Amino acid sequence: MTFDERLKLTTEAFRNKFGHNPALIAQAPGRVDLMGSHTDYNMGYVLTMSIDRNTWILARPRSDHLVQITSLNLPGESTFLLDDIEHDTLTPWSNYVRGVAKAMQEAGHSLRGFDGLVHSTIPFSSGLSSSAAIEMATVVVFKTLSQLGIDSVTMALLGQQAENQFVGVNSGILDQYSSALGEKGCALLLDCRALTSHTMPVSQTIQPVICDTKARRELTGSEYDERRAQCEEGVRILQQFYPDVAALRDVTMAQFKAHEAELPAVVARRCRFIIEENQRVLDLAEVLPSGDYDRLRALTDASYLGARDLYEIGAPAMEAMMQAMLAGPGVIGARQAGAGFGGCMVAFVEASEVDLFAARVSTHYEQATGITPAVYAVSPAPGAGLLTSVRG
């Protein structure tokens, strides 16, 4: 669908539903992590990229405190009063909107109600942060209609609060930060403790390609929380030797090795992965602009093997996809993305070979698993903001 087709489809749907034109369109992108699995809640680094798949919310202010929200992607619509925000079990996707409204009001903001229509090009439950995108688009709608000055880092924190406290997923800051602060044409080197980032140019010859296993994952599952708890246990033990350690980000490899034997084996595996993965983020940040293919390959291989064998967030579908990606024409390196356990993976491919790569990887993976994957190039896209103002 072209931009104009999407604009037409969504504005017509908005008019049909609400009987008037939208006053604004907010957009927020999904993201892919190029390196740094599960480093965010360990206060470490992530090399992340906002992608040209995004969520729009078309909106028009109301004069009361009602929010009426509908979606072109998912069934159901939801109406709630800003003064009394409960969970909606019938229309669960609306809980992202509800959670953001609640977090913004708890932060002291006075909000206007609105009529809204959501349209997304981010596949759901695949590890590309469709949740963060609807959260960030919601913040943009509220802050515009209520004329609030909220900076992008605060936007990300409000979204994370909605996700952690209202939706009930104990995620880190990566997804919301990437969606709020992404930059067109660049990846970001994100410091999850400082909540700052540097833009990182990606070599023109290296194209990130999403390889969606279509093996769906559910982040609310206990595996994610279990990994977090194991990392925290590692920190608690290591603090006995190094009182200044507040998170795994603070632990050097030498410190870890000196006390590895004192950690339960599974905790040691988790900690080793995070400490190594954090360093790989910094290493890849040096490699990406230069285009050193051998080094990139070594880093992505190590990241995948660590995710599979140490952090144990792999899945049979991911193993099949990894083999398909590494056999693909023009591949430079490949690894997991998102939380793992299925979902999307990412390959770095020579830009000139992307079409052939996509075709071959799809065939190879489908032959191995019987599942038709989705393989497509993504480009770094701007972070959340207003798309346009539409005359009403």
Instruction: Give yes or no for a contact between 241 and 5, defined as CB atoms under 8 angstroms apart.
Output: no
Instruction: Give yes or no for a contact between 333 and 348, defined as CB atoms under 8 angstroms apart.
Output: yes
CA 110 from centre of chain: 28
**Count of beta carbons in the 10 Å neighbourhood of residue 389:** 11
What distance in Å separates the CA atoms of residue 176 and residue 29, rounded to the nearest whole number?
A: 10
Q: Which is nearer to ligand GLA, 37 or 144 (CB)?
A: 37
Q: Which is nearer to ligand GLA, 82 or 310 (CB)?
A: 310
Q: Which is nearer to ligand GLA, 115 or 212 (CB)?
A: 212
Shortest distance (Å) from residue 117 CB to ligand GLA: 25
Identify the CA nearest to 371 among candidates 337, 320, 325: 320
What is the contact surface with ligand GLA in residues (CB under 6 A)? 33, 37-38, 40-41, 171-172, 174-175, 338-339
Active-site residue identified among 33, 88, 115, 175: 175
Q: Which is nearer to ligand GLA, 171 or 230 (CB)?
A: 171
Residue closest to ligand GLA, measured at CB: 171
**Count of beta carbons in the 10 Å neighbourhood of residue 338:** 26
Shortest distance (Å) from residue 317 CB to ligand GLA: 17
Shortest distance (Å) from residue 176 CB to ligand GLA: 8
Q: Is 292 one of the catalytic residues?
A: no
Q: Which is nearer to ligand GLA, 33 or 115 (CB)?
A: 33
Q: Which is nearer to ligand GLA, 88 or 135 (CB)?
A: 135
Shortest distance (Å) from residue 69 CB to ligand GLA: 22
What is the pairing mode between strands 114-120 and 331-336?
A: unpaired
Q: Which is nearer to ligand GLA, 152 or 171 (CB)?
A: 171
What distance in Å separates the CA atoms of residue 383 and residue 388, rounded to the nearest whole number?
A: 14
Shortest distance (Å) from residue 25 CB to ligand GLA: 25
Shortest distance (Å) from residue 333 CB to ligand GLA: 18
Instruction: Give yes or no for a contact between 187 and 202, defined as CB atoms under 8 angstroms apart.
Output: yes
Shortest distance (Å) from residue 296 CB to ligand GLA: 19
Catalytic residue positions, numbered: 175
